[in-house]
Structure 1
Amino acid sequence: MRRACAVHNRAGRTGPADRGAWVDGETRGGAPHETQRNSIEGQARISGAVVQAQQVHGGVHVYPPAPPPGPAPVPVPRQLPPVPGHFVNRRRELAALDAVLSRHMAQDAGAIPLIVVNGPAGVGKTTFAARWLGGRAADFPGGQLYADLRGHTAEGAAAPGEVLGRFLRALGAGSVPADLAEQMSEWRSRSAELKVAVLLDNALSAAQIRPLLPAGPGSVAVVTSRRRLTGLNLDGADFHRLEVFDAADGVELLRLGIGADRVAGEPAATRRVVDLCGGLPLAVRLASARLASRPRQPVAALAAALAPDADGLAALDVEGETTVSKALDASYSVLGQDAALLYRRLGQLPLATFDVPAAAAACARPPHWADDRLDELVEANLLEMVGPEGFRFHDLVRVHARTLGAADTADGGPGTTLRRVCDWYLHTTTAAEARLTPAQLHLPRDYVHPPQGLPVPFADDLGATRWLDAHRLDLMTLLRTAADRGWHAYAWQLADAMWPLVLRLRHYDLWIEAYDIGLAAARADGHERAVRQMLTSGAIGLNAMRRYDAAVARYEDARVAARDAGDIRDEGQALLGIGRSHREAGRPAEARPYLEQAIALWEACGYVRGTGLARTVLGEAALAAGEPVRAAAYFARARQTHLAVDDPHDAARNLAFLGRAKAMGGEQAAGVAHMEEALGVFTASGATHWQARTLEMLGDSAYERGDHPAAAELHSQALACYELTNPDDANRLRQLLATRTPGGPE
């Protein structure tokens, strides 16, 4: 029997959920008559399903081969930013990096090459590093990872944990620990067995780099920065200064952009433009884009536009920003009115990347309008494409756009632009929440600028989950921004709407921060119901991370707040959480009174579904105590409750537990049938964690009845699923498998 983990390839809910109960799928609330031999000769090649016959009668059905069993393989990450088609020279610098890598490979001392490429802004450090690593892809079969460390942006430098989370997920981790030390340990463990290339772009300091270095022999790390980062001397770094272009290379880059005829027709003006661009590739590319968009404009006209100011100040300062500003002014001046508006508005956003809906929201325009304007900005080299749907600024371009936008007070100014985009993200995240967790208690939403005419960018559960995952860093950025600006109601509402993101995708590194921010915002807003919601949401995350005592403390705060407000349902949820935390911490005697109190409160207020959740925990406690008959009674009753309130996910969880209890009690056939039925529900809904839990229980039952090969197979499948959701569970099960030999004793 083989089963595959259904992850990100199935639509379907993990089941209704409301906070105050379970995480991990739990809640917050015929034979032929004759044979014809056929043959194929020559050099024919056949791909896919094929039918070859002399005569065909009736219906012919051709089925593609079944997919291989087990979880889908994790794609090898290829994250390097694209290299522009107009890449000029740099042969000497590329050869120098080749020599560094060859020297390390020859020494074979196990040290990871660390290469630092520094130079002024706009000199092309990122493009150069991406070009070099892209040409050596075969040397790094484990993949190529990229992170923009934001060392020189107004949003602030990226924290190591933010980058490690992305790297770990790119290498197949379904969840990431919240603690930085645990993240670093997991990163070292995963990268130790791989040959990977890591490009750490736009670094600010040596301390920012060290946690991100890979551990695998044969790997390499390349760092780009405007700073020298001499502190990395201690780490054995090789330093390479990237200089500006000489005149010949600058002219060649311009020729590639505007054509040989225009360069040949005005050689003096061409050299003048390159000279005024200070040899900076970014400035030359921007000048090229402007000339290309105005084919009849003389090159000399652009040279005049880039000329130094009348006071005689040099056009280029030490970092080249004056020249780039001149080039950007020239590029901006020829934009259409609408594209110029979008350029200024995007400059006000703290987001690292933008997509069409965000751009449309920034200007209160329809998506097709934003799509066309974004194309115009890309054509002018003022925006770069990132993947099939994303766009971003170069750092210096962002500064230019922000400066222009800050002076634009029309239509409410920069604050209105930011709030429009914030409201669109809140609206869309809330739509995902309503789709993915429809049974939870939804708190109100307050929109200053309700999105108008912008469709939600997903149509099913899978699309909603993928949207949340793709925009999780945007959501955290806006959450922090709202807190910094004192938009308290917005901050807790966005944190509340993000519940399906943490519940389904288990980004532990974001979970605790999001609900800490949400809790502080709810308290500042004076919204007592939101305070209780944030307390419970954060407590569930702490419990999921096995920080049981911290979870109990936060649940106690939620319990006191609920009692003070006279909210019996919320008080029951806090009691359930306390009981669950004690049980999972190995304190079943302490857990039972809290769970029984929760049942009594919920029966009194008519919250039937909650009583089923509490009985599930009591059943798990009985199961762990070796009392399968008593456990089965709890699970059977809880299952009937969840079926009655149309909660198929929790009904399936109870069915899986009921099957395990029956198998432990000697009813192997009935127990296995229950667990396999529940596994079918979890597979269809894409509830990967509960696929793993059920596969593990099936494996345990197979081992107990002496079928060791089947047990090993089932546990291996469970391990593959845990690898996608929870490193702790994966390590636990891996250790269990290591203690067993095929067919042997435990």
Structure 2
Amino acid sequence: MNFTRWSVRVGDPDGTICGAGVYLGRDLVLTCAHVVTDALRVGPADAPVGHVLVEFPGTASPGPVAAAVTEGGWWPVGARQEGDAAVLRLTAPAPAGAAPAPLSANWRRGETVWAYGYPRHRDLSAGVHASATVTGETMGTGWIQLNDRHGNGVEIQQGFSGGGVCDADGGQVFGIVVLALRAERMSWLLPVELIAERLPPVREALAAAAIPGQRAAEPELELDGLGTSYELPADIRDFTGRAREIAELTERIRENTVGPAIHSIAGMGGLGKTKLAVHLAHKLAPDYPDGQLLLDLEAHKAGAEHRPLTTEHALLALLQATLGKPQNIGDVTRLGRMWRDVLRRRRLIVVLDNAASHEQIAALLPEHPGSLILVTSRRRLDELGVEGAVPMALEEFDEETSVRLFTAVVGEARAGTDPGAVRDIVRLCGYLPLAIRVKAALAKGRQRRYPLARIRDEMARETDRLKGLRVGDLSINAVFSTSYGHLGAHERELFRRLGLHPPGSVSLEAAAALVDDAGAADDAIDALITESLVDDEGGRLRLHDLLREFARERLAADEPGWERHREVAERLLDFYLAAALAAQRTLVPARPVADSPDPEHARLPDVCDRKAALAWFRAERENLLRCAALAEEFGLTSYVWRIPRAMGHFLALASETDVAIKAYQAGLTAARGRDRRAEADLNALLGEAYRVAGRQDDALRALSAAREFYEGAGERVAAADMLSRSGYVRHNLGDRDGAVDDCERARSEFIEMADLFGAAEALYTLGMLCRLRGDHSQALVRLSAALDLFDRIDYSLGHARCLNLMGVVLRLSDDRHLEAIPILERAEELYEAAGDIRGLAHTINNRASALGIAGRIDEAVSANERALELLRRTRSFAYPDALLVAADLRSRQGDHGTAERRLREALAYYQPAQARFGQARAHLLLSAALLGQGRAEEALVQARESLTLYTELETGNGVRQAKAAEAACLAALPAAG
């Protein structure tokens, strides 16, 4: 008698043995609930959280394996002495020598049974056998009483709990020991059939153990020998990656104890779907002892004349592999029933590889638990959900996994000669596993003549990268071609034209703009997603880099002619221009860009409200900026300036200053000599971007150039806009009077033209200038007037800006700082409703400062942290302003060291931007932070730097604060002599 293959012992975390158990297979162990609670020293009410130790004494296991109660695996002892079972899941695979216990429900009264346990008074390293006679059920609980038939032998006792009770040969396990009374030489077992009714994992294990008996009792399934023509291929020696996917699939498969086990793996060609399925099948093989098969359904076999395997042929092949030589009865329905009987009565793993459609495989799928079906396909077989299948969409590798795969193929020594080149090679392979294997195989075969850097450089120079991704008869191009061959005419047209789109995700509207028949676009998109030729990223499409190259290759072959390609590119560029213009008009209805798209577009995004317009710009930012390269490729030069011009307001809101300057400069270069109005518009945009970047001289020149054109062209509103904007720039250059004069003149011109928006903007700028000069009363007067005008034209964003600045002014007033808080809260509401994250962040930061002045420090710190997070995310130029508030709050809390770090970080932003007002405030606060640390001499330097700047800026309040800081530093210095 040998229990060693399925008998285990269970101990506490310190290694003390508390009982025994039965291995069920699939890394599951059955034992008593009280054995687990004893080991964890907890009560029996709920499934305990914690790990016990499980050992397999009869195997070559290196040591114990931790295990915890699995879901659906807890049945503690009840009030009537019923139950007492637990199923544990191992945290690591069971040893190779372990085998599932042969569970059975066929116990008989009077039969002699055996158990194996670990009495506490004996050597714990080895257990002992004990025998008893089955008496029958007692206590009405379902427990079965056992009586020791020996007068002086070893009896079932404490230490046997959880151990399996089996027949004399160990061929059938009826239950587990739950209670032993040593003095009376009686014990009880809990039968497997009763446990199976309560615990699903045991129910599945009992069903699996019954399959061999069922098969032997059914003559129709007697075999002449299993077929071998569809055996699972050998596992891949250098299988790499997919650890997350394997863990996820394994967990889902093992958790399924009710329905059929069907799992699908879908994705584009070259991702390694088959390799993953084969590797997983080998890993799970011990749980499916009746065999593992793979059938290639040939959906993407090369050759125009090739057709996928029919359902009938597939059924015949699978039945031959399991039943020998089934008769071809010409009835697919009957063949399907025969195959499903095989799946139900055996535990098989069947890989249905390269499936063409749900229709092809529907009859191959099980209806009951037992066997495992793994389906691989380039198509998304959504219909499988009806059969309860669990889908998995495979993606390309990340960089680290790609490097590991390349290294596994070429060897560590070869890869180690140039790690940088390896990373470049896998990137140029698009992180596609098949492409990496192909290139690695070539690299391995060219050890002497080809350094990795040379392979990398050749790939980077290749105009046809796909041509280089070939080894023997295996090529990426051929893999993609079979998928392309499955498409209809409309789908092919859309796919190859997607190759023209700039790299990045594509909206459904942009995809529709590429095709001749926009009405057919949705069906074509669905087909491309289904065939895994594009990825669906939540309503946006993404084309893999290599598939983009293949699409362009097909465009050249199937739609020859540069002029035709240019026409499609122009249609796409004009779509982006039309959408950007519509979104810009929503954001600034009073100042629409003077442009219009060339054709009418059937499908444009809905950007009719401010939130939608901002969301569209954020989603399309990269595509819009990359349109310049597409425009230059096809000589469509006007879009190099037209699209950035339409983006201007968004780029300003997003604080994309460096990006904006680069785009505007490129547009200005393209517009020179072609479109003078465009030159002026781009100079206007550049002027504002230069101002934010601290390039005040450049800003003034650009704004002046734009104003000169607008005046000459008789565009008085645009000319007055430039005058108003230049006022802020003149202030930054130290020309205070000139700044005010420009803004006042602009306001007068706007009033004369009845342009309320322009007048409100000029008043807002005047309010800002008054605030910077410390004239708070005049600032509030100008801002109140601007607020009234913005309300009259129903421009909520202008309203929010005025309230925000009014809150700042009130915050700086000694006797009105409490009024600032509700005003700033209202500004926050308006910014949030408008979807203006940058404005919202500025206002939250200003409210944090007001709260700090009011002594509400905890609220202030919380608000400031939120503002910092938003400003970092939007890369706003106001980020250093928030750092000043953070530093001031830290100083108020006595944390002068953190305050100093925040202030030095702020100065690193202010100085290159020539933001002198911010610098002055930073130096002032830094003086206080240093003085708080007892560093009076350093503090004095900062106070005097602040005083110099405030004096130059003619800010009376700032001058007073700086002088007070200087006096405090002098008082703290040690007396001379």
1:626-651 Cα shifts (integer Å, max 9, x gaps): 22222211211221222222222212
Q: Which residue of 1 aligns with 2:663?
A: 514
Structure 1 residue 227: Cα displacement: 2.5
2:730 to 579, 582, 586: 582
Q: Which residue of 2 aligns with 1:85?
A: 273
Q: Does 1:285 align with 2:479?
A: yes
1:501 to 645, 650, 665: 650
SS of match in other structure, 2:457: coil
Q: Distance in 1 between matches of 2:494 and 2:821?
A: 60
Q: Which residue of 2 aligns with 1:704?
A: 853
Structure 1 residue 674: Cα displacement: 1.8
Q: Does 1:634 align with 2:939?
A: no
Q: Is the 8 A contact 1:118 1:224 kept in 2?
A: no
Q: Which residue of 1 aligns with 2:512?
A: 360
Q: Distance in 2 between matches of 1:118 and 1:711?
A: 48
Q: Distance in 1 between matches of 2:757 and 2:427?
A: 59
Change (3 A) 1:281 1:558: same
SS of match in other structure, 2:517: coil
SS of match in other structure, 2:774: coil
Q: Which residue of 1 aligns with 2:806?
A: 658
SS of match in other structure, 2:542: strand
Q: Where do 1:668-679 residues align within 5 Å?
A: 668-679=817-828
Structure 1 residue 554: Cα displacement: 0.5
2:878 to 715, 726, 729: 729
1:244-288 Cα shifts (integer Å, max 9, x gaps): 99xxxxxxxxxxxxxxxxxxxxxxxxxxxxxx962545246346x
Q: Is the 8 A contact 1:446 1:490 kept in 2?
A: no
SS of match in other structure, 2:893: coil
Q: Where do 1:213-292 residues align within 5 Å?
A: 226-227=456-457, 278=472, 280=474, 282-283=476-477, 285-286=479-480, 289=482
1:203-238 Cα shifts (integer Å, max 9, x gaps): xxxxxxxxxxxxxxxxxxx999742799xxxxxxxx
Q: Does 1:462 align with 2:611?
A: yes
Higher percent of residues as strand: 2
Q: Is the 8 A contact 2:610 2:834 kept in 1?
A: no
Q: Which residue of 2 aligns with 1:177?
A: none
Change (3 A) 1:708 1:616: same
Structure 1 residue 607: Cα displacement: 2.0
SS of match in other structure, 2:570: helix
Moved more, 638-647 or 701-710: 701-710
1:353-408 Cα shifts (integer Å, max 9, x gaps): 544433322222125x2343345456667x34263421325154144224215525
TM score, norm. by length of structure 2: 0.44
Q: Is the 8 A contact 1:540 1:551 kept in 2?
A: yes
SS of match in other structure, 2:596: coil
Q: Is the 8 A contact 1:629 1:662 kept in 2?
A: no
Q: Which residue of 1 aligns with 2:795?
A: 647
Q: Which residue of 2 aligns with 1:403?
A: 556
Q: Distance in 2 between matches of 1:525 and 1:125?
A: 40
Q: Is the 8 A contact 1:712 1:742 kept in 2?
A: no
Q: Distance in 2 between matches of 1:586 and 1:86?
A: 70
Q: Which residue of 2 aligns with 1:450?
A: 600
Letter in 2 for 1:514: A
1:536 to 681, 684, 702: 684
Moved more, 474-483 or 349-358: 349-358
Moved more, 730-739 or 589-598: 730-739
Q: Does 1:432 align with 2:609?
A: no
Change (3 A) 1:696 1:279: same
Q: Is the 8 A contact 1:483 1:517 kept in 2?
A: no
Change (3 A) 1:569 1:377: closer
Structure 1 residue 572: Cα displacement: 1.3
Q: Which runs of 5+ in 1 are unaligned?
A: 1-40, 46-79, 104-111, 133-221, 231-242, 246-275, 291-330
Q: Is the 8 A contact 2:657 2:693 kept in 1?
A: yes
1:610 to 750, 755, 758: 758
Q: Distance in 2 between matches of 1:709 and 1:113?
A: 50
Q: Is the 8 A contact 2:818 2:854 kept in 1?
A: no
SS of match in other structure, 2:783: helix
Q: Distance in 1 between matches of 2:704 and 2:504?
A: 38
TM score, norm. by length of structure 1: 0.56
Q: Is the 8 A contact 2:849 2:885 kept in 1?
A: no
Letter in 1 for 2:432: T
Q: Distance in 1 between matches of 2:712 and 2:555?
A: 47
Q: Which residue of 2 aligns with 1:211?
A: none
Q: Which residue of 2 aligns with 1:741?
A: 891
SS of match in other structure, 1:390: strand
Q: Which residue of 2 aligns with 1:713?
A: 862
1:568 to 706, 711, 716: 716
Structure 1 residue 547: Cα displacement: 2.4
Q: Distance in 2 between matches of 1:92 and 1:696?
A: 48
1:541-592 Cα shifts (integer Å, max 9, x gaps): 2223232222111001012112222332222111111111233456534422
Letter in 2 for 1:126: Y
Q: Does 1:387 align with 2:537?
A: yes
Q: Which residue of 1 aligns with 2:431?
A: 126
Q: Is the 8 A contact 1:515 1:538 kept in 2?
A: yes
Q: Does 1:416 align with 2:416?
A: no
Letter in 2 for 1:438: P
Change (3 A) 1:651 1:724: same
1:479 to 628, 631, 637: 628
1:266-312 Cα shifts (integer Å, max 9, x gaps): xxxxxxxxxx962545246346x46xxxxxxxxxxxxxxxxxxxxxx
Q: Which residue of 1 aligns with 2:918?
A: none
Letter in 1 for 2:667: G
Change (3 A) 1:586 1:676: farther
Change (3 A) 1:681 1:360: closer
Change (3 A) 1:700 1:430: same
Q: Is the 8 A contact 1:576 1:614 kept in 2?
A: yes
Structure 1 residue 113: Cα displacement: 7.8
Change (3 A) 1:434 1:559: closer
Q: Distance in 2 between matches of 1:224 and 1:86?
A: 32
Q: Distance in 1 between matches of 2:530 and 2:568?
A: 24
Q: Distance in 1 between matches of 2:838 and 2:709?
A: 32
Q: Is the 8 A contact 2:851 2:859 kept in 1?
A: yes
Q: Distance in 2 between matches of 1:479 and 1:443?
A: 20
Q: Distance in 1 between matches of 2:535 and 2:517?
A: 21
Q: Is the 8 A contact 1:709 1:743 kept in 2?
A: no
Q: Distance in 2 between matches of 1:483 and 1:639?
A: 44
Q: Distance in 1 between matches of 2:709 and 2:515?
A: 41
Q: Distance in 2 between matches of 1:543 and 1:664?
A: 25
Q: Distance in 2 between matches of 1:92 and 1:363?
A: 39
Change (3 A) 1:564 1:224: farther
SS of match in other structure, 2:832: helix
SS of match in other structure, 2:782: helix
How many residue pairs end up in the alignment? Answer: 487
1:692 to 826, 841, 851: 841
Q: Distance in 1 between matches of 2:455 and 2:612?
A: 37
Q: Is the 8 A contact 2:590 2:757 kept in 1?
A: no
Change (3 A) 1:86 1:690: same
Change (3 A) 1:708 1:561: same
RMSD over aligned Cα atoms: 4.4
Q: Is the 8 A contact 2:707 2:719 kept in 1?
A: yes
Q: Distance in 2 between matches of 1:97 and 1:625?
A: 69
Letter in 2 for 1:337: A
